[in-house]
A and B are shown apart, each in its own frame.
Chain A
Amino acid sequence: MSRIETIISELSSISNNPKKAMEDYKKETGKGAVGVMPYYAPEEIIHAAGLLPVGIWGGQKSISKARAFLPPFACSIMQSVMEMQLEGVYDNLEAILFPVPCDTLKCLSQKWKGTSPVIVFTHPQNRKLEAANKFLAEEYRLVREKLERILDVKITDEALTKSIDIYNENRKVMREFVDIAAAYPQIIDPIKRHAIIKARSFMEKSKHTAMVKELNSELKSLPVEDFTGKRVVLTGIMAEPNEVLEILKENGFAVVADDLAQESRQFRNDVPLGPDPLYRLAKWWQEFDGCSLATDAKKSRGPMLIDTVKSSKADAVVVCMMKFCDPEEFDYPIYYRQFEEAGIKSLFIEIDLETTSFEQTKTRVQSFSEML
């Protein structure tokens, strides 16, 4: 097995088994993990406390118990998160960080059924005001205080600054990976690409950085081969389950860039420089644009996606619409019209973590491939 295959295999294994990743971290450091609910949270504070931040993104699951607590039109991620919390899946987490940028998260934060303590915080939506930075920095101060109390640790500014540096380095390496992977679609297919990115949700970031850095370097040493398939940009919350990515692969698509909340939106912006680490983390939210969960009066998601299509030389955009995600559904007609005006083709597919039948997705993807 080549070094590239070994790294991909290790990252895929972590991506597919976060429970084992947590257990390994505990064995190695003696410290536990803190869950991080979607979509954006100051993971650096958890990292500075020495614990493992673990992304909670639901999973492919049949829903039954959650039906008693959620309306049928709650989004697919939250349905599966509720189902798993009722099964006690998250009870070994030391705490859970809970941002509430949409109505579903807001309501879910008030009815958590697991046993781990939940720390809820609010992202201001009047983001472009200076007051928003001050408000969010204060929210993060409270998050730090609560974590210190729950975990019985002291989280210093110095440790936090160091963690921000580690995260910014990971963001930079991930952006490089996305660009490099686009040149090697024969090696980094949509499933592998997703696994490499997703693994960062379950790993100590400097370890993830080191592995991806090595992968980048190994990939760059290989000759770039012609790719005869189609190149697409994914947009949405997430592109799971893997069957969806498998269908893209089968139909000759390469993912050359993405605007997924679970993937590039996490690392496309660095935490800015400054003297106060909590203020810096807050400022990240102000500078972050092009996401349905962050109010954007200029609606820049469409133009940003169009730029991404151009810079990545993509043939089209695949819209991975999370089932019953209001914010994403509201954004869609706006950027769809912008795509039409710019002559950019797009495909709409529905993302439902509960589904086990993918015939409709197959038909849509095959038709799209024939259309391009």
Chain B
Amino acid sequence: MFTMGIDIGSSSSKVVILEDGLNIIAAEVIQIGTGSTGPKRVLDEALSKSGLKLQDMAKIIATGYGRSSVEESHKQISEISCQAKGVFFLVPSAKTIIDIGGQDVKAIKLDSKGCVKQFFMNDKCAAGTGRFLDVMSRVLEVSLNEMAEYDSRATEPATVSSTCTVFAESEVISQLANGVAKENIIAGVHQSVASKACGLAYRCGVEEDIVMCGGVAKDLGVVRAISKELKKPVIVAPNPQTTAALGAAIFAFDEVIGANK
């Protein structure tokens, strides 16, 4: 039996196809999100790579910011529940999840069964999100994929505000103008993201194992900064951008077999 999870975020679209609730048949990502061609393209790609049809899916569940606009889905579940489900499936020892996506930062606390005990989200502010890194990457002329490498070479991280993306951008511009090395600025940018995410994690109560997911988890500079701030190791979920879609696919499987509460 196949089930599908579709996670439509603000800046990317993800699909996971699951066989019998256990085997990941496809896990596709397209780096454009809700309101774009991303949702359709990622769906087509996942079906094409798996050789399956939409009709082969016993159930489809949508999640993410654009969850209510996915016509193919039978149900919508919030990304917080789906992240918890997906991450716990991959890392059963997870107790705290830090999820940083395009426009949201979330800290989620799990119980020993992987159920959400508490969660906190960022306010309506881009600071500390993937969008914040996008802006900094453009100003610094360093691609997102290269930022972790630059960070690893930093000798003296610069101070970058975590209050506001626009202020932080002008800080970065003036630091560049003052000749501060990009490596140090990028390490400062990562610390800024970490301080925002850790603020939410502290509210939740930090308990190990700590797992990071969401697109920003691919930037190991952010992962290092969060680990340093929390003074604890941080595990990056496998394929961290697709964990919510995976969770949605598991929920879909559970619903088909009647395992949900």
Contacts and interface: CB of A to CB of B under 8 A. Distances in A.
18 contacts: A340-B205, A350-B123, A352-B124, A355-B124, A357-B124, A359-B65, A360-B121, A360-B123, A360-B124, A363-B78, A366-B76, A366-B77, A367-B79, A367-B80, A370-B80, A370-B81, A371-B115, A371-B117
A350 B120 CA distance: 11
B172 interface: no
Most A CB within 10 A of own CB, among B77, B115, B118, B123: B118
Interface string A311-349: 000000000000100000000000000001000010010
Nearest to A372: B116
A360 B123 CA distance: 8
Interface string B239-261: 00000000000000000000000
Contact of A367 (B81, B123, B205): B81
Interface string B121-161: 10110000000000000000000000000000000000000
> Quick one: which of A350, A352, A370 has the most chain B CB within 10 A?
A370
B116 A370 contact: yes
Nearest to B116: A371
Is chain B's binding surface mostly helix, strand, loop or mixed?
mixed
Interface of A: 323, 340, 345, 348, 350, 352, 355, 357, 359-360, 363-364, 366-367, 370-371
B2 interface: no
B78 A370 contact: yes
Q: Which 7 A-B pairs have the closest CB atoms?
A: A367-B80, A367-B78, A366-B78, A370-B81, A371-B116, A363-B78, A350-B123
A364 B115 contact: no
B119 interface: yes
Interface of B: 65, 76-81, 104, 115-121, 123-124, 205
A371 B81 contact: yes
A367 B116 contact: yes
B245 to A, nearest CB: 16
B123 A371 contact: no
A10 B77 CA distance: 37
Tell me whether chain A's interface is mostly helix, strand or loop, or mixed. helix
B116 to A, nearest CB: 5
A340 B81 CA distance: 20
Contacts of B76: 366
Contacts of B104: 360, 363
Contacts of A350: 123-124
A366 B82 CA distance: 12
B119 A367 contact: yes
A74 to B, nearest CB: 16
A273 B205 CA distance: 47
A323 B124 CA distance: 11
A354 to B, nearest CB: 10
Nearest to B120: A348
A363 B65 contact: yes
Contacts of A359: 65
A191 B238 CA distance: 43
Nearest to A357: B124
Nearest to A323: B123
A364 B124 contact: no
A364 B121 contact: yes
Nearest to A251: B78
Given A360-B123, A370-B81, A371-B116, 11 more contacts: A345-B118, A348-B120, A350-B124, A352-B124, A359-B65, A360-B104, A363-B80, A366-B78, A367-B78, A370-B78, A371-B117
A370 B124 contact: no
A356 B124 CA distance: 12
Contact of A363 (B117, B121, B123): B121
Contacts of A370: 77-78, 80-81, 116
Contacts of B123: 323, 350, 360
A340 B118 CA distance: 10
